[in-house]
Amino acid sequence: MNIVAELKERFRPAVAPLVADPEALLDMIRPTQNVSFGDYQMNCAMPLEKRLGRPAQEIATDLVADLKIDDLCESPQVAGKGFINLKLRTSWIEQQLEEARRDERLGVLAVTAPQTIIVDFSSPNVAKPMHVGHIRSTVIGDAISRMLLFRGHRVIRDNHLGDWGTQFGMILYGMQNFSRQADYEENPVRELSRLYRLVRKLMDYHESTEKLPRRQMELQKCEATLTKAQAARNSHDPADKAGLKKTDKELRRIESQCREFRDEIRSLQDLLSAIDGDVTLSGLTQTHPDICDSVLRETALLHASDPARLERWREILPKCREDIQRTYDRLNIQFDVELGESFYHDRLDRVVKDLEARDLARKSDGATCVFLPDFEAPMIVRKRDGAFLYATTDLATIQYRMEMWQPDAILYVVDFRQGEHFDKLFAVARNWGYEQVHLQHIKFGTVLGDDGRPFKTRAGDSVGLEGLLDEAVTAAAKVVEENDLQKEAGPDFTPQERASIANIVGHAAIKYADLSQNRESDYVYQQEKMVAMKGNTATYMQYSFARIQNIFAKGLIDIQALRQDPHSKIRLLQPAERALGLQLLRFEQALDEALEDYRPHLMTEYLFDLAKNFSDFYNDCPVLRAEEQDERISRLLLCDLVGRTIGRGLELLGISVVDRM
Ligand code: ARG
């Protein structure tokens, strides 16, 4: 039951005759800030005042008179300027909870019109080890898929692996030039990743050498502009406040641009001097001056099905995938299909020809481009040298997915920095005839280190995901141990039990820390904080769940039996019971809100609020020591619903619970 959706439907017949576009008005039903006004508030009378030319209070009174809502609410009150206050009947809340407690799905209905939705997520480039950046797409995409599935949609989880790109050219080059056979035989993926990193460094060196003087020039220009702007600022008429504000804003923009150039120059210089200071590496930069071109050639040969390259690729790909699979297993991530970029290679030529035939693409400077009216630069679908691009593959992928699954929507859970790529991709796809399918880039921000910069190791590499998971489990083990040692009746876990709980808690911590952020924000990776027992953490949520199971264990309650017992009843007599009951009923709404624009943090917020409501209830209302038997049973049933809602909510986020903690 989505209460707000239900209230909306009740208001619809009253609001619809008044305006042509009732939706926006119906969206004005909100939970009240203050319980003394009731549970919900409908605020649409105020904006109607102007449109209808009548006082808002009068409109509100008329709306209330037309409302058929008796079964659900006590009689609605018009207050203040024209607010309509709604208080749900406690008996109605009880009745809904009765239904929820007997229902496997906690009263959440499946949608009546399920959609087919493809979720493109995780999608790492496989020849390099997974790093912290991959956590976001993987975890957010998984949570979105789980929530959509639970809501009743058909979901196809597709891991669009980068298994065909330049990184393979790098590895091929590395294998030819720097391979250590014995290391490769011992641990192929470690050796491949060493090769990848080595080649990356050498390429970075040459690219940075080229870039540095360009950036220095740009900085000089930027600083000159800044000096001019500062002079203009100083001679600006102080009385012209608006003008000054504008100038200041412009000044700040230029300053921040200069800062960006300076930062970039510093990091280019750091990179160069780190390599110059390393005798072996700097020697290699000398002996491999053309490495960037060579890597491109290797990639091109692979794409042209050169037998030696293709054979190598076929040999290393399964090894890379195995390595990635280990991480997925640890995180309990599954896909329905894993069609990497290589799968689409044979279709690319046809895609380009089709775009040309429809006059969507044309040659420009030797490259084949799709020009888009709303974009400065065209989308290149084939380079001058004949190579296809990331974008070409993405177009072929859309075509394939449409043929294969006729989806209603395709969601791409990818770093925000690819925003322009997806804007263009979607524009081209629409021109190409895929107008019906809803295409959406589910953007996310960056994982930052303590210094506010993208999370890196001291050596400047991005942090490996496996190592991070290990560290989180170790940190969780400490928390689990501390908690166990503090128990009144003494510790009750064996070392094995502690380890297995820490394993669940550690992995959950990383996921939850990520999911509890609005996906578009950057966040700072704080290991201590995310495994902590207190605060909005997975550990706290898991602890709340375990605490409830502990109540049942302590009271020797067979909760399954009680749940099914037809004579047991939920009664909401105390304010804390009613508040908890209402919060329990908001689960479906939280799910809908989290799915509206695919923001899992709205689910974590809901769960956190639920846990807080539960704490209040638990403080105010004795459960096992309740005075009367009816009361005790009712409270046990509430505890059970809270536990199941937390468990289900966490499951929808891909997080497991433990019965004891
Ligand atoms: N492999 C890409 C990367 O690591 C992400 C792919 C996202 N999905 C897509 N269909 N483009 O940047």
- Per DSSP, 37 falls in state G
Q: How many angstroms separate the CA atoms of 369 and 356, rounded?
A: 9
Measured from the CA of 414, which atom of ligand 1 is nearest?
7
Of residues 45 and 133, the one with the higher pLDDT is 45
pTM (2 decimals)? Answer: 0.90
Residues whose CB falls within 8 Å of the CB of residue 166, separated by 6 or more in sequence, listed in order:
295, 296, 299
Q: How many angstroms separate the CA atoms of 391 and 399, rounded?
A: 13
Q: How many angstroms separate the CA atoms of 324 and 207, rounded?
A: 29
**Assigned token pair, 89:** 């009947």
Q: How many angstroms separate the CA atoms of 578 and 584, rounded?
A: 10
Same domain membership, residue 423 and residue 319: yes
Of residues 496 and 129, the one with the higher pLDDT is 496
Cα 389 to ligand 1 centre (Å)? 12
Same domain membership, residue 278 and residue 194: yes
Residues whose CB falls within 8 Å of the CB of residue 271, separated by 6 or more in sequence, listed in order:
204, 205, 208, 460
Q: What is the Rg, in whole angstroms, of the alpha carbon atoms belonging to the chain?
A: 30
What is residue 459's predicted lDDT score, i.e. its pLDDT? 58
One DSSP character per residue, 57-123 reads HHHHHHHHHH---TTTBSPPEEETTTEEEE-B-HHHHHHHHHHHHH-TTTTPPPPSS--EEEEE---
Measured from the CA of 390, which atom of ligand 1 is nearest?
11
CATH number of 47's domain: 3.30.1360.70
- Residue 145: CB within 6 Å of ligand 1? no
H or E stretch at 441: strand 438-444
Residues whose CB falls within 8 Å of the CB of residue 447, separated by 6 or more in sequence, listed in order:
132, 133, 135, 136, 454, 455, 514, 522, 523, 525
The residue range of the domain holding 288 is 167-302
Residue from 281, 188, 201 nearest 179 by CA: 188
What is residue 464's predicted lDDT score, i.e. its pLDDT? 81
Mean pLDDT taken over the chain: 94
What is residue 296's predicted lDDT score, i.e. its pLDDT? 93
Q: 216 pLDDT band (50/70/90 cuts)? A: very high
What is residue 457's predicted lDDT score, i.e. its pLDDT? 62
**Assigned token pair, 660:** 């004891």
Cα 268 to ligand 1 centre (Å)? 26
Is the predicted pLDDT of residue 190 greater than 80, yes or no?
yes
Same domain membership, residue 349 and residue 323: yes
Is the predicted pLDDT of residue 573 greater than 70, yes or no?
yes
Judge whether 541 lies within some domain: no
Q: Which of 418, 420, 437, when mutated, tests ligand 1's pocket best, judged by the most ligand atoms within 8 Å of its CB?
A: 418
Q: Which of 395, 398, 414, when mutated, tests ligand 1's pocket best, judged by the most ligand atoms within 8 Å of its CB?
A: 414
What is residue 612's predicted lDDT score, i.e. its pLDDT? 96
Cα 360 to ligand 1 centre (Å)? 24
**Assigned token pair, 201:** 């460094």
**Assigned token pair, 508:** 């959950």
* pLDDT tens digits along 616-630: 999 999 999 999 999
- Residue 160: CB within 6 Å of ligand 1? yes
Cα 417 to ligand 1 centre (Å)? 11
Judge whether 133 lies within some domain: yes
* Percent of residues, the chain, with pLDDT higher than 70: 99
Residue from 651, 516, 659 nearest 145 by CA: 651
Segment 137-156 shows an average pLDDT of 98
CB-based contact 571:563 (threshold 8 Å): no
80: left (phi over 0), alpha (psi -120 to 50) or beta: left
Q: Is the dihedral of CA 496, 500, 501, 502 positive or negative?
A: positive
- Residue 391: CB within 6 Å of ligand 1? no
Judge whether 648 lies within some domain: no
Judge whether 651 lies within some domain: no
Same domain membership, residue 298 and residue 171: yes
Q: Indicate the residue among 302, 326, 348 that finishes a domain.
A: 302
Judge whether 274 lies within some domain: yes
Same domain membership, residue 443 and residue 329: yes
What is residue 128's predicted lDDT score, i.e. its pLDDT? 77
Cα 651 to ligand 1 centre (Å)? 26
Is the predicted pLDDT of residue 285 greater than 90, yes or no?
yes
- Residue 124: CB within 6 Å of ligand 1? yes
Residue nearest to ligand 1 atom 6, measured at CA = 123
Domain count, the chain: 3
CATH number of 398's domain: 3.40.50.620
- Residue 163: CB within 6 Å of ligand 1? no
Same domain membership, residue 298 and residue 206: yes
Same domain membership, residue 38 and residue 80: yes
Residue 367 β-bridge partners: 364
Is the predicted pLDDT of residue 385 greater than 90, yes or no?
no
Same domain membership, residue 253 and residue 202: yes
Q: 193 pLDDT band (50/70/90 cuts)? A: confident
3-state secondary structure of 270: helix
Q: Report strand pairing: 77-79 vs 40-42.
A: unpaired
Same domain membership, residue 286 and residue 268: yes
Q: How many angstroms separate the CA atoms of 630 and 559, rounded?
A: 15
Q: 561 pLDDT band (50/70/90 cuts)? A: very high
Q: Indicate the residue among 302, 329, 358 that finishes a domain.
A: 302
Judge whether 525 lies within some domain: no
Q: Which of 123, 158, 426, when mutated, tests ligand 1's pocket best, judged by the most ligand atoms within 8 Å of its CB?
A: 123
* pLDDT tens digits along 488-542: 989 989 999 999 999 999 999 999 999 999 999 999 999 999 999 999 999 999 9
Cα 125 to ligand 1 centre (Å)? 8
Segment 544-549 shows an average pLDDT of 96
Residue for token pair 């890196």: 456
Residue from 12, 45, 36 nearest 26 by CA: 12
Q: Indicate the residue among 414, 448, 482 that finishes a domain.
A: 448
Measured from the CA of 415, which atom of ligand 1 is nearest?
12
Judge whether 555 lies within some domain: no
Same domain membership, residue 292 and residue 171: yes
Is the predicted pLDDT of residue 173 greater than 90, yes or no?
yes
Same domain membership, residue 298 and residue 195: yes
Same domain membership, residue 296 and residue 219: yes
Judge whether 485 lies within some domain: no
Segment 460-469 shows an average pLDDT of 80
